[in-house]
């Protein structure tokens, strides 16, 4: 990542641009910090994981990090948190834990408070906005199924990032756990999220959401 001083950075819809005007996909510091609080700092292997990912103490507290850090951080934190479980289950449980961590954070509390007010269905309709809480490179589309009780949700990179060599998808089972927690916490206590298909090359996942 270049252009720290000369580039510009804003949370939400924009991404950092280098002096050469090259788009740089980022994961926001608030998302990284919420993830790191999912595992106790005394857990064996935690410090080594931070060093491996370039997130040791001296590198913490940045407003954003290269997007490539995010899926690698998820996979390693899932192993630390649930070492005795299979990969899919470990990732799902980490997604739930991450949702709780975001809810407890100062910046995430307002997002969850809003979700409780407007309800799970409205939160689902705003998913393109919601995914920007922790990333500058994600987008989402929502299409209702006939009957009005289920929706297809697709989470993929924003159009300007599609086809980039850096793309590495967020593990779908992690996203499934996070989404299930978020919808249930917003009041849809019986909400269910199923993974319909996952395109690792295109970094896109299609879910079926039932509220």
Q: Higher pLDDT residue, 177 or 5?
A: 177
Note whether residue 130 is domain-resident: yes
Residues in the chain: 211
Please say whether the beta carbons of 16 and 26 come within 8 A: yes
Q: Higher pLDDT residue, 60 or 45?
A: 45
Note whether residue 9 is domain-resident: no
Q: What CATH number is attached to the domain comprising 138? A: 3.90.1520.10
DSSP string, 129-170: HHGGGTBSSEEEEEEEPTTSSEEEEEEEE-GGGTT-TT--PP
Note whether residue 2 is domain-resident: no
DSSP 8-state code for residue 100: H
What is the C-alpha to C-alpha distance for residues 94 and 111, in angstroms, rounded to an integer?
19
What is the C-alpha to C-alpha distance for residues 37 and 41, in angstroms, rounded to an integer?
8
Q: Which residue, chain included where needed, has tokens 């979700």?
A: 115
Structural domains counted in the chain: 1
How high is the pLDDT of residue 22? 57
- Distances 47 to 52, 65, 80, 182 between C-alpha atoms, Å: 9, 18, 11, 29
Angle CA 208–144–88, to nearest 5? 10
Beta bridge partners of 116: none
Please say whether the beta carbons of 154 and 140 come within 8 A: yes
Q: Which domain holds residue 77?
A: 16-210
pLDDT digits (tens, 9 = 90+) for 80-108: 999 999 999 999 999 999 999 999 987 77
Note whether residue 8 is domain-resident: no
What is the C-alpha to C-alpha distance for residues 138 and 136, in angstroms, rounded to an integer?
6
Note whether residue 42 is domain-resident: yes
How high is the pLDDT of residue 175? 97
pTM of the model: 0.85
Please say whether the beta carbons of 184 and 199 come within 8 A: no
Note whether residue 150 is domain-resident: yes
Please say whether the beta carbons of 7 and 20 come within 8 A: no
Note whether residue 92 is domain-resident: yes
pLDDT digits (tens, 9 = 90+) for 120-139: 999 999 999 989 889 888 99
The percentage of the chain sitting over the pLDDT mark of 70, rounded to a whole number, equals: 87
- Rounded to 10°, the helix 87-104/106-118 angle is 90
Note whether residue 3 is domain-resident: no
């Amino acid at each position: 990542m270049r252009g720290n001083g000369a580039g510009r950075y804003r949370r939400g819809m924009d991404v950092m641009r280098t002096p050469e005007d090259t788009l740089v996909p980022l994961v926001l510091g608030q998302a990284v910090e919420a993830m790191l609080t999912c595992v106790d700092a005394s857990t064996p292997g935690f410090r080594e994981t931070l060093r491996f990912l370039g997130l040791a103490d001296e590198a913490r507290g940045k407003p954003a990090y290269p997007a490539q850090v995010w899926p690698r951080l998820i996979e390693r934190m899932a192993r630390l948190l649930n070492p005795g479980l299979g990969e899919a289950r470990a990732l799902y449980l980490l997604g739930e834990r991450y949702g709780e961590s975001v809810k407890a954070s100062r910046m995430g509390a307002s997002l969850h408070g809003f979700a409780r007010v407007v309800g799970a269905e409205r939160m689902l309709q705003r998913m393109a906005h919601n995914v920007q809480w922790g990333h500058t490179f994600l987008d989402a589309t929502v299409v209702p199924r006939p009957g009005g009780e289920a929706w297809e949700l697709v989470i993929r990179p924003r159009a300007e990032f599609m086809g980039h060599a850096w793309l590495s998808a967020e593990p779908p089972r992690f996203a499934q756990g996070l989404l299930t927690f978020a919808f249930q916490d917003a009041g849809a206590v019986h909400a269910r999220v199923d993974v319909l298909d996952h395109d690792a090359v295109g970094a896109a996942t299609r879910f079926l959401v039932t509220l």
